[in-house]
Amino acid sequence: MSVQKPSLPKGTRDFGPVQMARRNYILNTIKETFSLFGFQQIETPAMENLSTLTGKYGDEGDQLLFKILNSGDFLKNVEPSDLEKGTSAMLPKVSEKGLRYDLTVPFARYVVMNRNDITFPFKRYQIQPVWRADRPQRGRYREFYQCDADVVGTDSLVCELEILLMIKRVFSKLGITDYSIKINNRKILTGLSEVIGEKGREGELCVAIDKLDKIGWEKVQEELNQRGFGERSIELLSPIITLKADNHKKLDFLKGFLSSSETGLKGLQEIQEVIQLLETFGETQDHVDFDVVLARGLTYYTGAIFEVKVHNVSIGSVSGGGRYDNLTGVFGLEGVSGVGFSFGVDRIYDVMEELGLFPEQHADQTKVLITYFDKSGFDYGLRILNRLRQAGIASELYPDEAKIKKQFTYADKKQIPYVLILGDNEIKEKNVSLKNLISGEQEVLSVEEMISRVC
C-alpha cells in the first residue's frame, strides 16, 4: 500500500477561503457592472464537440485545445494503418469532445442554435472557466476564468462605447487607477498595410508591430525585414511608430496619412465616433488611449479592438476584445455582427495582489463564536445560536467539548471578533459573557443586549 503524494495538474490551482473571498469581490464587481449595462447571464457546457472548437483559433489554437478521450474503448475505430497517418488523422477517431478554449466561440454556437428565441440585439455575459494546454507561467494558467460581455446583432458603436464605460467602471470600483485601455481598429491596420504598399499583409504586420513595446522599433524592423517587407514600406511605417500625441492629434495626423485608403479612413472614422460618443455621454477620455499599433492576434476581429494593460506590474493584458462582423458565419448564420470583450479575473487578481489593492478582512467572516464548558452549556449555546442566526449574525458554536483555551484559539485563528462564554453562572442567570477579542473587554449581558451589541 503505497501512499501517493497528491498533486495538481500543471497550470491549475486550488482556491482557499481568502482567495475565494477576493475572487468573489472581483467577480461581483464585474457581474454587477454587466448587469447595470443590461447584459444577461448565460452558461454553456465545459465541453463542446471538438468540431465546434477546431479551426476557430488557428493552427496554434488547435494545438492548445484540451481534447477529451472518447469514453469506453476509445481505440475501437482505430486501424493499425491509422497510426501511420499521424496525429491529426487519428484525433477524430479517438476524441470527439474538447474543453472550451474561450467563451466567444461557444457563445456563437449558442446564438446560432437559439436564433429563434433570441431577441436581437442580444447582450449576454458569461463567467466561466476556460482551458488551454499552454505552458504555464506568471499570469498564465491552463484553467482560468473569463468574464465575457458581448452584444450581437447590431453595428452600433454605442456597444464600443459601453465596453469602454464598463472597463472604466470595474477598474474604478476595484481601485485600479494606473492603467490604459488601448483602442484601435482593424480597418486602420488594413489601411496602414495598403498605404505602405503591402496590401493584404496586415496580419503579418500586426504580429511584428505588436512586439513594439517589448523589443523596440529596431528589432521590429528586423523582423519585418525577415518577413520580406520592403525597405521602403518599413520606412513609410516609421512616422506611425514614433507617433506620440493625444488621441485627437493622432486622429488628425492619420487622416492625412491614410487618405489614400478608403478602409483606413473608415476605421479612423469609427474610432473618432467612439471618442465622440464618450464625450457626449459625459465621460472623460482618461485611460483611453488610441494606439495605432495595437494589434490582436485573433483572426476574427474586423473593427474595433481593445486591450487593457495595467501599468507597473509584471502581468500581461488583463482584458481584451473587439468587433467581429461574422462570427456566427461558420455555424451557418450569416450577417450577425458582434462586439465583445473579456476580463481575465485571474490576472486582475494577480495585479491587485501585486499592487496591494485588496481591502483587509475579505475572507468570509464569522462574527460570534459560542464557547462553553459542558453539556448544559452546549444546550444553552445552541438556543442562543438560533437567536443569533435569526438576527442575521454570522455565528457558530464550537462543535466539541474542549478546553476553553482551545476554543479561544480557534476564534483567534479564524479572526472571529466576538466570543460568548457560557458557564454555570451564565446559564443560571440566563445571560451571557461577551468578550471582544479585539479590545479584550468582557462584560455580562442579557441575550438581547448582546445581540444589539454585536449587530
Partner RNA sequence: GUGGUUGUAGCUCAGCUGGUUAGAGCGCUGGUUUGUGGCACCAGAGGUCGCCGGUUCGAACCCGGUCUCCCACCCCA
Does residue 203 bind RNA (CB under 7 A)? no
Per-residue x/- mask for RNA, residues 150 to 189, rule CB under 7 A?
----------------------------------------
Grid cell at residue 43:
452558461
Closest residue by Cα to residue 26 from 347, 415, 366, 365: 347
Closest distance between RNA and the C-beta of residue 298, in Å?
Answer: 5
Q: Does 379 engage in binding with RNA (CB under 7 A)?
A: no
- Identify the bridge partners of residue 309 per DSSP, sorted by sequence position: 180
**146: annotated binding-site residue?**
yes
Shortest reach from residue 256's CB to RNA, in Å: 30
- In terms of Cβ atoms closer than 10 Å to its own Cβ (0-12, 13-18, 19+), residue 324 is buried
Q: Hey, which residues between 11 and 30 contact RNA (CB under 7 A)?
A: 11
Task: Say which DSSP state 14 is in.
Answer: -
Query: Residue 273 or residue 353: which is nearer to RNA going by CB?
Result: 353
Told to check if 311 binds RNA by CB under 7 A, we report no
- Does 329 interact with RNA (rule: CB under 7 A)? no
The reply, when asked if residue 103 is annotated as ligand binding, is yes
Q: Which is nearer to RNA, 106 or 320 (CB)?
A: 320
What distance in Å separates the CA atoms of residue 299 and residue 31, rounded to the nearest whole number?
A: 28
In the DSSP assignment, the letter for residue 305 is E
117 is in an annotated binding site: no
What DSSP string describes 337-368?
A: -EEEEEEEHHHHHHHHHHHT-SPS--S----E
Q: Is 431 among the residues that bind RNA (CB under 7 A)?
A: no
Reported in sequence order, the residue ranges of 226-335 that DSSP labels E, i.e. its strands, are: 288-290, 304-310, 319-324
Contacting residue, 34, 122, 408, 418, with RNA by CB under 7 A: 408
Beta strands in 72-175 (DSSP E): 95-99, 122-131, 143-152
CB of 253 to RNA, least distance (A): 26
Nearest-angstrom CA–CA distance, 78 and 93: 6
Q: Smallest gap, in angstroms, from Cβ of residue 224 to RNA? A: 13
Dist. CA 178–CA 180, nearest whole Å: 7
Burial of 130 (0-12, 13-18, 19+ CB in 10 A): buried
Q: Which of 76, 244, 375, 413 binds RNA (CB under 7 A)?
A: 413
Listed ranges 17-25, 113-121, 246-254, 419-427: which one lies at the site for RNA (CB under 7 A) = 419-427
DSSP state of 79: -
Using CB under 7 A as the binding rule, whether residue 405 contacts RNA is answered as yes
Any binding-site annotation on 104?
yes
Q: Binders of RNA: how many residues, by CB under 7 A?
A: 61
Answer yes or no: are the C-beta atoms of 51 and 174 closer than 8 Å: no
Q: Is 406 in the site for RNA (CB under 7 A)?
A: yes
Of 23, 31, 115, 140, which lies in the binding site for RNA, with binding defined by CB under 7 A? Answer: 140
Rounded Cα–Cα distance for residues 262 and 187 (Å): 9
302 binds RNA, rule: CB under 7 A: no
Query: Residue positions in the annotated binding site for L-histidine?
Result: 102-104, 132, 146, 150, 296, 300-301
Residues that bind RNA (CB under 7 A): 2, 7-8, 10-11, 60-61, 102, 132, 134-142, 144, 146, 207, 210-211, 214, 296-298, 307-308, 314, 316-320, 342, 344, 346-347, 373, 403-406, 408-409, 411-413, 419, 421, 423-426, 433, 435, 437-438, 440, 442
